[in-house]
Amino acid sequence: MKYAVINCSGKQYKVSEGDIINVSRVSEKPDEKISFEKVLLLVYDGKIELGRPYLLGVKVVGKVIEEFKGEKIKVSKFKAKVRVRRAMGFRPHLSKIKIEKIESSKSPLKQTVKGSKKKL
């Protein structure tokens, strides 16, 4: 089984080909391709490649299916003894993305990091 761990808007997601994930709204519109360059981990045929912090030459390609609002989160504030109560709600803007493929050009472990002569 082939899967990867990607970083998208400060959160990490474990994805494999054909998965559908909900992430914070991205700039791409529905039916557009999106590419995740920040791949932290790649597992393929039992082999594990771990990035430091990211893998070079590996990217995950997906397609934005739709944009929608998430479930409402209720937030309330309360101050004791002064009868202060306040309730608010929040609905996050989300994007639904279908992962189409996980691409790796070469073995990322043999590439060098920009600006350094040391191999990973």
Q: Give the total number of structural domains in the chain.
A: 1
Average pLDDT for 22-32: 96
Domain of 8, in residue numbers: 3-110
Biggest alpha carbon–alpha carbon distance for the chain: 65
In a domain, 70, yes or no: yes
Separation between Cα atoms, residue 103 and residue 14, nearest integer Å: 15
- Helix segments in the chain, DSSP class H: none
Structure confidence at residue 105 as a pLDDT band (50, 70, 90)? confident
**In the structure encoding, which two tokens stand for residue 57, read together?**
């030459």
pLDDT in tens, 39-76: 999 999 889 999 999 999 999 999 999 999 999 999 99
For the cut 80, the answer to whether the pLDDT of residue 107 exceeds it is no
Q: Say how far apart CA 81 and CA 85 lie, in whole Å.
A: 11
Residue 17 lies in a domain: yes
pTM of the full structure = 0.77
Q: Is residue 118 part of a domain?
A: no
Q: Would you state the pLDDT for residue 112?
A: 43
Residue 8 falls within a domain, yes or no?
A: yes
